[in-house]
């Protein structure tokens, strides 16, 4: 609609200029047909001059009247088009804010064992994912160590088991990884199942509000030794597919709804995505970042539709507020990983030219 509006303005200016030129020429007709005419007229008889001018100009006056009528209709048409633009924008914003409301509801409905709800649940999810990552790094198996190459691989494996969880009734994975990571997947799930059973036994037998706690040490991506504690008053490692699956799908659909709207300027699209980003807590942005690395379809980094490519995380800064004090503990550093993705997708200049707020 914005392109159509510009075209209408351009056409109106052209017609207006032509109309002004036409009026000027008509006003010059008396001079042309009297003083500058090749045909000699008797200028001493005023009546003859008047009749001559009237006969010559009358058709052109009618043309001017028709032109004015056309311009009036054109102005009305342009006004209607502008009104339609406003209606389309109102419809867009109505749906956008409704989707934003649904997203907030999705977040508020997330809970862990009825104890940790909404954004607080994401803090507990982060702690659980960090423990899985640490357990993975601490696995003592030479075959496993040979396959654990790079932080991207580590976070993919850790997030996979965080997302799907461990079986409640044995030490198997809910969704075991295959190919070169099958052995790693089995070993990791076995370790997590033992801890899960210990926590379950404590929580089932102890009716107080005591938490299951386990202290652990691991090395960060920067090779710093970190000591942390997992605190859980619910069964850990149950998986979060039912909580995060539809939440991230709706979030993706909401962003897609904005960036696929061709009636918005690039800055307007960025501003609407900024409003979405404003709804995401630090831990939500961090988990979304690791989710984008883990997912096979890579849609957060490059989404294609109708011969258009959209780079959501790169061009629209959906997680530009991601806190590095969280991401420094596991996985590739966001700055480094963004550079890799830009190179992978041949992006030499990102849209909107944003930067991470953390340095």
- Name the β-bridge partners of 218: 226
d(CA 337, CA 323): 15
Instruction: Count CB-CB contacts under 10 A for residue 58.
Output: 10
Reported as a single tens digit per residue, the pLDDT across 158-200 is 999 999 999 888 888 999 898 888 889 999 999 999 999 988 8
pLDDT category, 142, cuts 50, 70, 90? very low
Most confident of 62-71, 141-150, 305-314, 325-334: 325-334
> In sequence order, which residues have a C-beta less than 8 Å from that of residue 237 and are 6 or more positions away?
128, 132, 161, 162, 165, 166, 192, 193, 195, 196
User: Do 294 and 300 contact (CB within 8 A), yes or no?
Assistant: no
| Beta strands 303-305; 308-310: pairing state | antiparallel
d(CA 327, CA 97): 30
d(CA 61, CA 63): 5
Which of the residue ranges 57-66, 87-96, 142-151 would you say has the lowest mean pLDDT? Answer: 142-151
Q: What percent of the chain has pLDDT over 70?
A: 81
Structure tokens given for 167: 């079986």
> In sequence order, which residues have a C-beta less than 8 Å from that of residue 198 and are 6 or more positions away?
212
Question: If DSSP codes are grouped into helix, strand and coil, which group holds residue 323?
Answer: coil
Please state the domain extents for the chain.
Answer: 2-88, 111-232, 241-353
Question: If DSSP codes are grouped into helix, strand and coil, which group holds residue 225?
Answer: strand
Whole-prediction pTM value? 0.78
d(CA 128, CA 166): 13
Q: What angle do CA 335, 336, 340 make, to 5 degrees?
A: 120
pLDDT of 246 strictly over 50: yes
Instruction: Supply the mean pLDDT for the chain.
Output: 84
Reported as a single tens digit per residue, the pLDDT across 27-65 is 666 666 555 555 555 555 556 656 666 666 676 677 777
């Amino acid at each position: 609609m914005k392109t159509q509006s510009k075209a209408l303005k351009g056409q109106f200016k052209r017609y207006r200029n032509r109309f002004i030129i036409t009026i000027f020429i008509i006003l010059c007709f008396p001079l042309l047909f009297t003083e500058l005419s090749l045909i000699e007229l008797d200028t001493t008889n005023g009546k003859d001059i008047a009749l001559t001018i009237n006969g010559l100009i009358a058709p052109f006056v009618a043309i001017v009247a028709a032109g004015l009528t056309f311009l009036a209709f054109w102005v009305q048409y342009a006004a209607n088009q502008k009104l339609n633009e406003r209606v389309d924008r109102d419809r867009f914003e109505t749906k956008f804010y409704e989707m934003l409301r649904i997203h907030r509801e999705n977040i508020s409905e997330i809970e862990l064992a009825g104890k940790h709800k909404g954004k607080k649940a994401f803090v507990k999810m982060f702690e659980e994912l960090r423990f899985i990552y640490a357990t993975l790094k601490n696995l003592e198996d030479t075959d496993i160590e040979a396959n654990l190459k790079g932080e991207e691989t580590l976070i993919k494996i850790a997030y996979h088991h965080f997302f799907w969880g461990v079986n409640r009734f044995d030490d198997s994975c809910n969704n075991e990884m295959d190919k070169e990571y099958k052995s790693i997947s089995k070993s990791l799930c076995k370790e997590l199942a033992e801890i899960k059973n210990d926590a379950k036994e404590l929580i089932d037998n102890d009716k107080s509000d005591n938490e299951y706690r386990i202290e652990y040490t691991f090395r960060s991506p920067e090779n710093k030794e970190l000591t942390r504690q997992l605190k859980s008053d619910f069964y850990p490692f149950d998986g979060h597919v039912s909580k995060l699956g539809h939440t991230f799908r709706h979030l993706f659909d909401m962003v897609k709804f904005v960036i696929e709207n061709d009636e918005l300027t690039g800055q307007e699209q960025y501003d609407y995505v900024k409003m979405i980003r404003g709804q995401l807590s630090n831990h939500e942005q961090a988990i979304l970042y690791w989710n984008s690395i883990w997912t096979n379809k890579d849609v957060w980094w490059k989404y294609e539709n109708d011969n258009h490519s959209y780079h959501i995380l790169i061009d629209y800064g959906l997680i530009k507020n991601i806190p590095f004090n969280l991401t420094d503990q596991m996985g590739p550093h966001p700055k480094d990983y963004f550079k890799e993705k830009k190179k992978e997708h041949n992006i030499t200049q990102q849209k909107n030219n944003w930067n991470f707020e953390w340095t």
